[in-house]
Amino acid sequence: MAEVDRVVFVADSGLLSKDNLDLIEESKKHYIVAARLKNQPESIKKQILDKASYQSGNQMMIKEIALPGKRRLLVNYTEKRARKDAHDRQKALVKLQKKINKSKNPESFISNAGYRKYLKIEHQQSVQIDDEKIRHAEEWDGLHGVITNISDMSARDAFEQYQGLWQIEESFRLTKHDLRVRPIYHARPRRIQAHVAICFMALVCIRHLSYRVKLQYQPLSPEIIRNELVHVQQSILIHKTNGTRYGIPSKPTQHAKKIYQIMGEKLSSMPFLIA
């Protein structure tokens, strides 16, 4: 079995705090974390917005900015993301304008950060869309960044690793909804640990099964796989006279047949005698 030679924490900007990054670095681990570009110091933001200094790549322009310590701020720009950012903002502005037409009461907008960033509120009495704020927002269209402490990984590879974050988020959804790791109805530490360990083993099994099904058949979600396996059932009939028992399997679906075949198990719909 191959040994793990590098552990990399990949997370969205929710993990981006000085204490969290310091803790990971103290444990001699690596990380790739989404950066809050607009929260950077002014000197860094000027470098981010200077698109003329970006290096061209395959459908992506990339720039690296050194941060204190051994941290690297990697920023990329793509036309596709820029178009999406502009489209999303336009939808929000249309919705905001409709809301302004219905009510010009500033109090109904102040508490909403999504609206407030595009508004000009004068003397707490009038509300209107601020064109200057919109132009400022447009400057950030298409930009995305990550912070990492990995010195020997290219910026492009770092972004590819970050794109795998969806697998981590999907695992969270699996443990929460499909495996129902919470709530935990135990009080003793050993029972709580056993509950979490069982859920983790179930997660490993469904991940492994999903991978093999995708590799040898076609992509099936964990929910579909579970539903297919749950409906593989059999009824037991007992002869009233001699007590002989017979097993009557349910008719398996094509998906269920392939799942069993991939795992090297037999699945038949033929009735059989139970010894």
The 3-state secondary structure of 66-88, one letter per residue: ECCCCCEEEEEECHHHHHHHHHH
Structure confidence by residue, pLDDT tens digits, 45-56: 999 999 888 988
Alpha carbons 31 and 18: distance in angstroms, whole number: 13
Kindly tell me if the per-residue pLDDT of 44 is higher than 60. Answer: yes
Structure confidence by residue, pLDDT tens digits, 237-266: 999 999 999 999 999 999 999 999 999 998
Kindly tell me if the per-residue pLDDT of 157 is higher than 80. Answer: yes
Better pLDDT: 7 or 208: 208
Alpha helices in the chain (DSSP H): 18-26, 42-49, 79-102, 107-110, 113-116, 131-138, 155-163, 165-173, 189-216, 222-230, 254-262
Alpha carbons 40 and 226: distance in angstroms, whole number: 45
Contact of 13 with 33, CB cutoff 8 Å: yes
Helices (H) and strands (E) in the chain, counts: 11, 11
Name the pTM for this structure.
0.67
Structure confidence by residue, pLDDT tens digits, 177-187: 888 888 899 99
Residue 83 confidence (pLDDT): 95
